[in-house]
Amino acid sequence: MARAKKRRNGFRCGPSMGSGGASMIKPVMLGLVIAAVVAFVFIMIFALVFVIMKAIVSSAVIPLSLIALMIGCFVGGLVCGTVARSRGLLYGLAIGFIVFLSVWLFGMAMGADAFSLITAIKLICLLLAGGCGGWMGSNHAYTKRRFA
């Protein structure tokens, strides 16, 4: 039997590792769940701030929601890149695009414009946040913790 090669980071590579699109599902789904939870938490924090201030500034709602989504995409991409340990930029961009696509489709269902300058800015910001998070997640040093 042929032995599978051992890569530098300790994973085996070869036909048993699944190099196709199926290996991409687990990190992306985990990253999407984390991104949604983090974005939801930050939107709730911003809503709490509005309630405490007893004044809702309508011009601040869209930028704050974009900031919450960007933080969610960054953290989701970071988790996704850490789990995958390779191709973090690709995974992070996938997280950012899927989050953008879901927000854009929900906006279209609610009656928003088809595509505008603000929509393009949201796309760029979410792709940058997700890509940076995925890149950082796949490039940070992974250390195994040993307990005595």
pLDDT tens digits, 45-67: 999 998 898 887 888 888 999 99
Domain ranges, ordered by start, for the chain: 61-138
- Cα–Cα dist 136/122, whole Å: 21
Per-residue confidence (pLDDT) for residue 55, from 0 to 100: 80
Decide if 72 contacts 113 (C-beta within 8 A). Answer: no
The structure's pTM equals: 0.79
Would you say residue 91 has pLDDT above 90? yes
- Cα–Cα dist 76/41, whole Å: 13
